[in-house]
Structure formats: structure tokens, C-alpha cells
Amino acid sequence: MADAAPHRVAILVYDGVTLLDVAGPAEVFKEANRFGADYRIVLLSPTGADVTSNLGVRIAVDGAVSSETAFGTLLVAGSDLYPRARVPGDLADAARIPAAVAGRVASICTGAFVLAAAGLLDGKRATTHWKVAHELAARCPTCRVEPDAIYVRDGTTYTSAGVAAGIDLALALVEEDHGPDLARDVARALVVYMQRAGGQSQFSAPLKGPPPRSSALRKITDLVTANPCGDHSLGELAKHLNVSTRHLTRLFHDELSTTPARYVEDIRFDLARALLDQGHTATQAAALAGFPSYESMRRVFARKLSISPAAYQRRFGTARRVNAGQAQAG
């Protein structure tokens, strides 16, 4: 029987493209070839001219989008440029034209903005980097943006989160093509997770938002921020302003779109994350952040991040203690 035709993967690049958005997925497909896959990677630009990445590295391309006929997979890499500016028409066209004949279309990180400009996310579910998910939703109002997803599949359209998530997505595509065993071999060879636990929330910045407009509510938020461990029950907070609990709840809803209890929880959660980042144990972090118990903190982490405090700390805790231990052991 004749060998199956190679699976052609075209990566759309352009000036200012994020280099890791290109190199990460390409490395996954190249590594998959070592385990029996047959991916052929081509780099294409809108005009066929070489491009310069965000790091100033020149990327030699294989040709123009118009010079190619069909692909198994079209990947659109991202850039810091286009969440801040509108996607040029020629770049949107460079994604739209080959997408019509590709078996599947995928974006890495902010490459979703190019897909959206090309009309390829209309009526679909999608994701992008958590920092700009709101902007994608504004630019493509018919698209249902899922800001916490690592990657999203909607039919034959795939979108992924921040730059390293392009590796997660490429592994998922390899698994779709060749099954979990080969994809697992690739993940092990690259020393990455086959599938990461939790969503993008575990990588997002601590709570930041506009201060309350009213001085009364600002007094309460300043009180909670200054002393997260205090008694911040609804009744106690209302006493500080000499208002009813109902009135205080309405203030929080109108100005901050949350409840007093949820605001207190968010402040404690952000402090606990910072304490875990600094190397405190989970029990210490729970106490110092004002949680009634470790279990109450664990439930908040599970709800917000879909991972435990211990799992969060393994991913983001300081490496200084580990390095020191290695030095002593050496």
C-alpha cells in the first residue's frame, strides 16, 4: 500500500510576529516526525518576502500565501502589534484565503485577532491571551471568547492562549492526528506537560481594578486591603459606615459589580497567591491572608484556578530555595 501523503502545516508569519509562536508549534511537529509522523512545515508570509520577528530575528519564508494551494493545517502566529492596532487588510486576507482550503485553521495567542479580522471566528468559540481577551470580544462580538481556556476547538477552528500555549495546541493536534501515545512521546521528549491542569487564570495578574467612586466605599476597600485578616463580615463592614447591610451590598454592586463577601475573598486570594509565590507554605499563606482555614483557601483556589494551592506553588513558587538546596547538595 502506498504511504499516506505528508500532512502539510503552513505557518503564517509577518513583520512583528512573536518568534515563540512560530518556533514552539514547529518544534512539536518536527519532534513528532521522529516518532513516526510525517509533517511538512512551510513558513508563508502575505507577500512571500522574509519577515522580521518581534525579537529582531529575520525569518526566511518558503513563499507567499498565494503560491500555495492547500494545507492540512494553517497556523496563524500572534504578535504584540494587533491587540493594540487594527489588523491590516492584507494580513487578514492572507489568513482568509488559505483558510478556505485548509483542513483546519488554528491561531497561536494573539493570532486570534488575525482570524477575527478575516471573519474566521464569527459565531465561534475562541480564546486568546488572558490580557487581551476582552479586546477580542469587543472586536468580534459574535464570537464567544473563553478567557480561561488554554485552547479551544470549535469545529475545524482552533485558538490558543498565551505564547507557550501554542505548544499545548500543537500537541493536541498531533494527538488528534496520531493518537495519545505518539503525542505523549513528543511531550516527554520536549519535557512539557501533555495537558496542563487549570486554565489561564493561574497565570493572570493579581486583582487590579478602578478604585470606588464614592469615598464611603473607598473607606471600606482600603480597610479590607490594609488588613485582610480582620473581621470583614457584612455586618461588621456596614457598621464602619453606619449604613445597613443592604445599602452596603448595593454600593458594592453598583460601583464594583461584586458583593462585599466576594471582594474580601478576592483580596485574600491575591494575598495568598503572593505569599505562595514567596515560598510560604499553604497553611501559612491561608493564615496570613485571612482565610478561616486552609480548606476554605483550597476551595477558593479550586473554584478560581481549577488547581490546588500546592499545585499553584509548584508552578509559580520561587526557585531560590530549590537552587539553594541543589547548591548544598552539590
Q: Where are the domains of the chain?
A: 7-190, 215-317
User: What CATH architecture applies to the domain 215-317?
Assistant: Orthogonal Bundle (1.10)
Which residues have C-beta within 8 Å of that of residue 25, sequence separation ≥ 6?
Answer: 11, 75, 108, 166, 167, 169, 170
State yes or no: pLDDT of 205 exceeds 60.
no
Catalytic residue among 109, 140, 143, 229: 109
Q: Which SS3 state, helix, strand or coil, does residue 64 take?
A: strand
Long-range contact set of residues 212-218: C-beta below 8 Å, sequence gap at least 24: 212/251, 212/255, 212/256, 213/255, 214/251, 214/255, 216/241, 216/243, 216/251, 217/251, 217/252, 217/255, 217/256
pLDDT at position 28: 96
Work out the average pLDDT over 141-162: 90
State yes or no: pLDDT of 209 exceeds 70.
no
46 vs 276, more confident: 46
Q: Which SS3 state, helix, strand or coil, does residue 40 take?
A: strand
- 138: enclosing H helix or E strand: helix 133-139
Work out the average pLDDT over 193-218: 67
Rounded percentage of the chain residues whose pLDDT exceeds 90: 60
State yes or no: pLDDT of 329 exceeds 50.
no
State yes or no: pLDDT of 2 exceeds 60.
no
pLDDT at position 218: 85
Rounded-to-integer distance, Cα 317 and Cα 79, Å:
28
Catalytic residue check, 143 = no
Work out the average pLDDT over 314-327: 50
pLDDT at position 198: 59
State yes or no: pLDDT of 287 exceeds 50.
yes
Full-model pTM:
0.68
Query: 7-190 adopts what CATH topology?
Result: Rossmann fold (3.40.50)
pLDDT at position 327: 35
Q: Is the separation of the CB atoms in 109 and 170 below 8 Å?
A: no
Pairing relation of β-strands 144-145 and 125-126?
A: parallel
Work out the average pLDDT over 202-217: 68
What nine digits make up the cell of 229? 485578616
Which residues have C-beta within 8 Å of that of residue 158, sequence separation ≥ 6?
Answer: 104, 105, 106, 107, 151, 152, 169, 172, 173
Q: How many CB atoms lie within 10 A of CB 6?
A: 12
Q: Is the separation of the CB atoms in 283 and 275 below 8 Å?
A: no
pLDDT digits (tens, 9 = 90+) for 101-151: 899 999 999 999 999 999 999 999 999 998 898 899 999 999 999 887 888
pLDDT at position 172: 92
Which residues are registered as beta bridge partners of 42?
Answer: 10
**Apex CA 128: angle with CA 125 and CA 130, to 5°?**
115
